A and B are shown apart, each in its own frame.
Chain A
């Protein structure tokens, strides 16, 4: 065996296995539809003193937005369940995202802000990435559960109560969306700054 074939057949050559990439891009579509239609739904009865511009709100009117929202939710939830199940079952979450040490997080934030954070090994997540990826998975769970508690405040009233009732659950749902949007801004910006990470999520390596 030559050194080349060894590298090619080593499992570490693949940064993201197929299921991660498929789930990732399905999630991209689902989450963008959920956010766009969610903004249109928000505009029908704003929680704060602002509305989202129509140009970025999907569905044309409340009824259209609700059709999008309650269709894309199946894609988001089914895909999310597949992703989390495989992430736990294959040990990928444990391997890639744990452990998280606060001291390392602080050190990596400092390194990132001074552009000294290394990106040579994309298969290894630094502490900031670990925190953000664990955080976004938890936020995903919160956005789905708070959404369910707004959708079914009678049939799932116990869940709605966990979120502090119908009115509070609407705020939880909103802030979970806001957290996802904030994550996306950072996530997309960093992917564009380090384009090989984008390539890895498309081609696997």
Chain B
């Protein structure tokens, strides 16, 4: 996935030297020093730096700091803007790190949602049982980390109600999700308890098609798309951050909107 490449055919040191020639003589030395660090930082050898372990560690630390800032900014009562039926993006895009024909096919007859960790009742849930939970609906904007967005309509159960129902310890820090294709994701408890965080079983009032995560997606209009697991087969209430598929590769952990 991650290629290591610098600008082909360009010697960064020579480039800086050339730039130095444009400078009046007395200034050249200090300019060279400035240019070397600046050039290294950005266009000239920038790709080298991100591959450097030190730079990457620093950047990841800032990203963790940004998780904290986002947790502070997050309000459990602030609702994501909602839209009308007419605003729904049609067709709503399919998006994953694999093609649609590689998306998992879950058998509804044998499907069971595992509930694990800090909960009183660990009984697995069949799809019929899940569908009997009180249904809520939302039309909200899905924002992808890539920048595009689309407005969708999701129906399902409020996650915080479900957590109450199974006797989850909501003082725990995280909920960890496992998906049929091996995708994983950890979210913070405040977001799990947000009123718009939904265990979605339907898209646009029809049972979720395979493309959108049949049989269950966790819909969080307060988070980026990659934080929203599809094909969910297990959830664990936990105090351990198990990370996630994209977060482990460098996407920001909180991924809040």
Contacts and interface: CB of A to CB of B under 8 A. Distances in A.
Contacts of A166: 141, 143, 149
B50 A58 contact: yes
A60 B4 contact: yes
Contact of A66 (B8, B10, B252): B252
A53 to B, nearest CB: 9
A152 B73 contact: yes
Contact of A67 (B10, B27, B47, B60): B60
Interface string A18-46: 00000001001100110010000110110
Contacts of A58: 42-43, 46-47, 50
A13 to B, nearest CB: 18
Interface string A40-57: 011011010000001110
Interface in A180-202: 192, 195-196, 198-199, 202
Interface stretch (A92-100, A112-120, A153-161): A153-161
B148 A45 contact: yes
Given A66-B252, A167-B149, A192 B22 contact: yes
Given A60-B51, A70-B252, A154-B80, A45 B46 contact: no
Contacts of A64: 2, 50, 59, 250
A133 interface: no
Interface of B, secondary structure class, is loop
B146 A44 contact: yes
A153 B143 contact: yes
B75 interface: yes
A154 B66 contact: no
A170 B141 CA distance: 15
Contact of A154 (B5, B7, B10, B78): B78
A155 B60 contact: no
B1 A61 contact: yes
A71 B41 contact: no
Interface in B72-93: 73-75, 78, 80-81
Interface string B133-149: 00000000101111111
Given A45-B147, A67-B63, A68-B50, A155 B252 contact: no
Contacts of A156: 73
A74 interface: yes
A59 interface: yes
Nearest to B144: A45
A177 interface: no
B238 interface: no
Contacts, number: 127
Interface in A130-182: 150-157, 166-167, 170
Nearest to B148: A45
A64 B56 CA distance: 9
A152 B249 CA distance: 22
B62 A199 contact: no
A76 interface: no
Nearest to A56: B43
Contact of A54 (B5, B51, B81, B251): B5
B34 interface: yes
A29 B51 CA distance: 19
B151 to A, nearest CB: 10
Contact of A44 (B42, B74, B143, B147): B147
A25 B3 CA distance: 31
A152 B256 contact: yes
Contacts of B250: 63-64, 66-67
Contacts of A192: 22
5 contacts: A25-B34, A32-B43, A33-B42, A42-B147, A153-B143
Interface of A: 25, 28-29, 32-33, 36, 41-42, 44-45, 47, 54-56, 58-64, 66-68, 70-71, 74, 150-157, 166-167, 170, 192, 195-196, 198-199, 202-203
